[in-house]
Structure formats: C-alpha cells, structure tokens
Amino acid sequence: MQLARFPRLRFAHLPTPLEPLENLSKHLGVRTLIKRDDCTGLSTGGNKTRKLEFLAADALDKKADTLLTQGAVQSNHARQTAAIAARLGMRCEILLEDRTGNHAPDYMHSGNVFLDLLHGASIARFPAGTDMSQALDEAAANVRARGGRPYIIPGGGSTPIGALGYVNCALELVHQATAMGLAIDTVVTATGSGGTQGGLVAGLEILRSGIGVLGIGVRVPRQQQEDSVFALATKTADLLGHPGAVARSAVVANCDYVGQGYGLPTSGMVEAVEMLARLEGILIDPVYTGKGMAGLIDLARKGQFKDKTIVFLHTGGSAGLFGYTGAFDFGAAA
Ligand SMILES: Cc1ncc(COP(=O)(O)O)c(C=O)c1O
C-alpha cells in the first residue's frame, strides 16, 4: 500500500502508545489494551490530528488560506481544525450546530468552544436541523467574496483523504502488535462521521491483518452507520489503488449505546468515564469515547469478548468533559 504517495504534513505525535489496561482488564475479565490516539498532540490530541495531516496538506496544495468546517457545539473536530489552522498561519471559520439542545453555559462556552476561540477561530452558531453543507458552501462563498481562498473540511474530516489518517493508524497498529507479539482480535472504536472506522477497516483489510473492528455508534441506527462507513472504507481503498479490498462484512457497528441521541449523556457513558478515570487515571469523553467504552464494558459483561484480546482506540475528546460537568454527580465528595 502506497500511503506515501499522498501529500501529508507531519505534526502528529506518532506512533501513539499501545498499552495494557491492567486494572480494567482485571475488572472486566477481558484482556484489554488501549491505543492512545488521545496523545496525538495538537490541542489536547485526538483522532482528527491524523486526518488533518492529510487534509491540511491537501488544503495547502490547493493554495487555501482559510479552513472552514462544521460540527456540534462541543465538536472536537472543530477544535483540532482551529489548532492546525493556527499552526499553519491560516484563518479558520467554524460553524456550530445546536445538535443537542443543551444550552447550559459550560456546554455553550467552555470545553471545546473555549479552545476554538483560544486558537483564534471565528465561530458562527446555527439552529438544529440547519443544512450544514449548504451553510459551509455559503461561508466559503463569503470568504471568496472577501478575496480569500477557502478549503472546506466536511464534518469530522471524514473524506477518503481524511480517512488516510486511519489507514496510517492501521499500519502503525499492525507494526506495534507484531513487535509486541500480540494477536489482536478486535479493535473497538467510537464511530460517528465514519472516517476513523472507515480508514481503519480499509487499512486492516488491505493488509489482510485478521484484526476485526467494532464501531460503537454515537448518533444513527446501525444500518445507516454501517452503510456510511462501508461507503467511505470502499472509497478509501479505491483511492489507495485497492478496489474491492473491503468486504461489507468487515464493517460492523453496534448502535445500542447512543441513548436518547447524539451528544446526550447516558448512565453507561457516565459509568465508563468514571471507571477509566478511577481505575486507570485516563480521561475519556462524554460524546464519543465514553459511549464507545460503555459499549465495550457492557459487551464484556455479556461475555462477547471471552478469551479475546481487545484494543480500545482512544480517539480523544476529553476537552469536552468541561462542557458536560452537569452530567456528573459526585454527591458528598463534591
Ligand atoms: C473524540 C472523538 N472520538 C471519535 C469520533 C468519531 O470519529 P469519526 O467521526 O471519524 O467516526 C470523534 C468525531 O468527532 C471524536 O471527536
């Protein structure tokens, strides 16, 4: 696979560690490791750093001077896009959609929103249900009218170019597992806009790694999630010159842990965030990794991972905790 054919900027801290979660493994009775993509660098780290290495290189190739993107109010993707724009001396415009209906001050202004502004991005807010692709096109037209050169990064950076970042993660993981003498059965990851799972699946399938990927959905029902991840994985494999490398059966999502909707807390998420914080000293997030880990915990309790070796992909997002303090109740300890 010729990943080196694609323009890429090198700012991620790679390879990210692959570490055992010893206390969690004992607690759940399942051998569980963690791939620390929360340590990729770039404004508290996370999965978008890998995608942005390829997307920002494409933007520079196209002579852009302004990055435009969209997401939910507490979007991690927006925060990391703001950070790379700052690093590259580009302008950044972020369009935030009110997807959760949460108007608490910390949700509206703290966490990722605070960091977007700290990185010098401009923010525009939109009501739920806005056609955000159209809003991005209009914002790009405004940039052009002012004489700027916009580059649109769709929500989550989940294009085939962005997904190359997770093909790179697949390569890295296979090398690490080989060096450690580790036979991984399944990688568990939160899956939203799909570029993380799509890129991972494309990479692991092209490599014929024998490693499965289980996406834990955070927003839509299973069929819709799997279809969109499969479409993206297929396009990513095509881009890499491996058409047909991804079997439909390689794309598996479990969307039983979404709860009432995207970005809305669940008791499983709260339990998972607290469990990782208290057993491992690791921060996960309320919107993605918290629900992803809630799925892992529940499936482990149900025996789905018996005698398996599981890698949880920590895709970052802990900055979002500061937008969700109301979801946690520390009782008398507070
Ligand atoms: C912390 C975190 N984890 C996981 C995801 C999901 O990744 P993807 O959108 O590539 O499916 C996101 C997306 O924004 C995220 O911010």
How many Cβ atoms sit within 10 Å of the Cβ of residue 63?
8
pTM of the complete model beyond 0.85: yes
CB-CB contact of 120 with 114 (8 Å):
no
| 3 state DSSP class of 106 | helix
Would you say residue 214 has pLDDT above 90?
yes
* Spatial separation of the C-alpha atoms in residues 265 and 263, rounded to whole Å: 6
Among 214, 259, 225, 108, CA closest to 156: 225
Does the CB atom of residue 74 touch ligand 1 within 6 A?
A: no
* 333 confidence band (pLDDT: 50, 70, 90): confident
pLDDT of residue 334: 83
Q: Measured at the alpha carbon of residue 158, what is the angle toward residues 156 and 161, in degrees to the nearest 5?
A: 130
* 66 confidence band (pLDDT: 50, 70, 90): very high
pLDDT of residue 186: 98
Task: Say how many residues make up the chain.
Answer: 334
CB-CB contact of 313 with 284 (8 Å):
no
How many angstroms does the Cα of residue 333 sit away from the middle of ligand 1?
A: 32
Please compute the mean of the pLDDT values over residues 276-295 and round it to a whole number.
Answer: 98
pLDDT of residue 217: 98
Residue entry with tokens 């439909």? 248
Q: What percent of the chain has pLDDT over 70?
A: 100
213, two tokens:
């990927």
pLDDT digits (tens, 9 = 90+) for 82-127: 999 999 999 999 999 999 999 999 999 999 999 999 999 999 999 9
CB-CB contact of 78 with 117 (8 Å):
no
* Spatial separation of the C-alpha atoms in residues 244 and 238, rounded to whole Å: 8
pLDDT of residue 70: 98
How many angstroms does the Cα of residue 18 sit away from the middle of ligand 1?
A: 19
Categorise residue 132: left if φ over 0, alpha if ψ from -120 to 50, beta otherwise.
alpha
Would you say residue 332 has pLDDT above 90?
no
* 1 confidence band (pLDDT: 50, 70, 90): confident
The answer to whether 75 is a known catalytic residue is yes
Q: Cα 322 to chain center, whole Å?
A: 18
pLDDT of residue 2: 86
Among 228, 232, 225, CA closest to 258: 225
Ligand 1 atom nearest 215 alpha carbon: 11
Please compute the mean of the pLDDT values over residues 240-254 and round it to a whole number.
Answer: 98
- Please pick, among 25, 75, 110, 209, the residue that the annotation labels catalytic: 75
Q: What percent of the chain has pLDDT over 90?
A: 98
